[in-house]
Amino acid sequence: HLRALCSTAPSVFLSTGPTVSGSVVKGEVGQDVTVPCFYRVQSHQDITSMCWGRGSCPVSKCYLPIIWTDGWKVTERDDSRYMLKGNLQLGDVSLTIVNAKEADSGVYCCRVEIPGWFNDQTSNHNVVIEKARISTASPHTYTSEQTSAPGSDNESSFPITRTWPSVSASEATGTASGPCSSTSDCSDVTLNLQNVSLSFPSQQYSENGLYIGIGLCAVLLAILILALFLT
């Protein structure tokens, strides 16, 4: 019976300790990942030292420790990426891994050192750091009818109508005297001027012939009257 009592005694001490279960924490590469860990603080006498380490919690201390505190502040740090951002005096000793990497994946031990035999509060946390997910959604395509290629069906829905202003005869005359806006306008104006200039000489020639005929008749009549007087 004494042997049985001695063999069961260590297991009794281990099972009655304040050890808590761990957790699984997932994060992405490049992000800050926080691994939770707390202990109960009712007065200043409850504030105690603790450590974080890589791997499962050993019998004492931390295996491969990465950060240590004296209960009030951080005393040792293996890497500046490991930070305790919680209020240590309130028992928040959660570990924050800044700019996490895939190599940070693994088991982490949180050990709070409580005075007494086998009274340390320990918890193992499995940290999984994954690569950032890349969206595989197809990009949106935006189509504008105004930018359609020449000759497409969209051109029929956008007819282009050009309206030229009407020009009166007086405006045409004023335009002919000024500079031409294009080669075709100049040729039209020149043709109209030629037609006008050609119509004037024929009219002038007919009037001059009429005047010359009347003048000759008057001269002949005067000569005839003079001849009669002389005879």
- Report the pLDDT averaged over residues 81-98: 97
Cα distances (angstroms) measured from residue 215 to each of 14, 87, 204, 219, 220: 156, 134, 17, 6, 9
pLDDT exceeds 50 at position 151: no
pLDDT exceeds 70 at position 54: yes
Q: CA-CA distance, 40 to 47, in Å (whole number)?
A: 9
pLDDT for the residue 204: 54
pLDDT for the residue 53: 97
User: Hey, where are the domains in the chain?
Assistant: 23-130
- Report the pLDDT averaged over residues 173-177: 42
Looking at the structure, give the CATH architecture of the domain made up of residues 23-130: Sandwich (2.60)
pLDDT exceeds 80 at position 149: no
What is the share, in percent, of the chain residues with pLDDT greater than 70?
Answer: 58
Q: How confident is the model at residue 145 (pLDDT cuts 50, 70, 90)?
A: very low
- Report the pLDDT averaged over residues 125-151: 63
| pTM of the predicted structure, to 2 decimals | 0.52
Q: What is the mean pLDDT of the chain?
A: 73
* DSSP character at residue 117: T
Q: Provide the residue type at 126 as one letter.
A: N
Show Cβ contacts of residue 129 under 8 Å, excluding neighbours closer than 6 positions.
Answer: 26, 27, 28, 29, 33, 100, 101, 102, 103, 104, 105
pLDDT for the residue 226: 82
